[in-house]
């Protein structure tokens, strides 16, 4: 009786192991195929179609915000069900897109390890002509000299705007510490670099810092005030945090002006 009962059990174990291996291979292939398809995208419509068809994709964060001159920025972060013979876990991804109308002007994808470190990073659909146009328009209006390398870094880096993040809300991101120091020493030059960047969160810190300096009795230049008013009117959505709540999305005017 002992040998008879063990035989079906061995068959069951072998079958389950086979299913696990097949499933592991399937999810791993889907993960790789997802990124291969993303980097082939030329339009936002293509990207959205690809993103929505993967059943293993767990949507965690999606941001679509207006920039200047008719451009938009898309940031999409997600986790992906990923199984191996050693077990199941999540792998993640970050997608950064600069879009005009439906065309992707610049794209970058980061493949994330389950520990949230970047395993692989690929730029795609880089339209050099449109990027140059955007950069020239930006530098002309903001009176600055950003390079394409600086632009692409600004557009593919996530910062959090807040002066109180984490347990107890006692500290904020390092960018908030820099802002407070610059305000304390009336370092308008440093704040102006962020004001004229293409990263919305750095611009938010600069707007807050410069308005605080003005409130404390120091004058701002007419160009500084013009840019601040422009950014407040553009009112882009800002990634921010409050206490333990991370990844909040709030319009700039509401964050800085309270309305």
Q: What is the pLDDT of residues 180-230, one digit of tens each?
A: 999 999 999 999 999 999 999 999 999 999 999 999 999 999 999 999 999
146-to-6, 67, 69, 139, 202 alpha-carbon distances in Å: 71, 16, 16, 7, 14
Query: Do residues 160 and 173 touch, judged by C-beta distance below 8 A?
Result: yes
Kindly write down the DSSP assignment for every residue of 164-214, as one continuous string.
-BSGGG-B--HHHHHHHHHHHTT-HHHHHHHHTSS-HHHHHHHHHHHHHHH
Instruction: Give the predicted TM-score (pTM) of the model.
Output: 0.86
Kindly write down the DSSP assignment for every residue of 22-53, as one continuous string.
HHHHHHHHHHHHHHHHHTT--BHHHHHHHHHT
pLDDT tens, 3-20? 545 555 554 444 344 333
* Domains in the chain: boundaries: 2-155, 167-257
Kindly write down the DSSP assignment for every residue of 2-25, as one continuous string.
HHHHHHHHHHHHHHHHHHHHHHHH
Identify the band that residue 232 occupies on the pLDDT scale cut at 50, 70 and 90.
very high
């Amino acid at each position: 009786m002992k040998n008879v009962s063990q035989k079906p059990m061995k068959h069951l174990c072998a079958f389950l192991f086979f299913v696990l291996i097949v499933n592991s291979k399937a999810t791993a292939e889907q993960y790789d195929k997802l990124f291969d398809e993303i980097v082939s995208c030329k339009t936002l419509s293509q990207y959205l179609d690809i993103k929505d068809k993967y059943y293993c994709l767990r949507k965690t964060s999606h941001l679509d915000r207006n920039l200047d001159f008719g451009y938009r920025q898309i940031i999409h972060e997600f986790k992906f069900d990923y199984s191996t013979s050693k077990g199941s876990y999540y792998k993640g991804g970050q997608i950064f897109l600069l879009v005009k109308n439906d065309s992707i002007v610049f794209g970058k994808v980061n493949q994330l390890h389950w520990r949230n470190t970047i395993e692989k990073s690929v730029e795609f659909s880089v339209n050099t002509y449109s990027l140059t146009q955007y950069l020239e328009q930006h530098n002309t209006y903001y009176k600055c000299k950003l390079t394409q390398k600086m632009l692409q870094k600004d557009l593919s880096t996530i910062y959090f705007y807040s002066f109180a993040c984490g347990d107890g809300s006692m500290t904020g991101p390092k960018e908030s510490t820099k802002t407070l120091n610059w305000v304390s020493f009336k370092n308008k030059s440093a704040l102006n670099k962020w004001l004229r960047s293409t990263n919305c969160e750095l611009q938010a810190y600069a707007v807050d810092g410069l308005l605080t300096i003005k409130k404390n009795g120091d004058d701002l230049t007419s160009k500084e005030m013009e840019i601040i008013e422009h950014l407040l009117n553009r009112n882009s959505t800002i990634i921010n945090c409050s206490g333990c709540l991370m990844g909040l999305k709030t319009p700039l005017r509401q964050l800085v002006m309270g309305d």
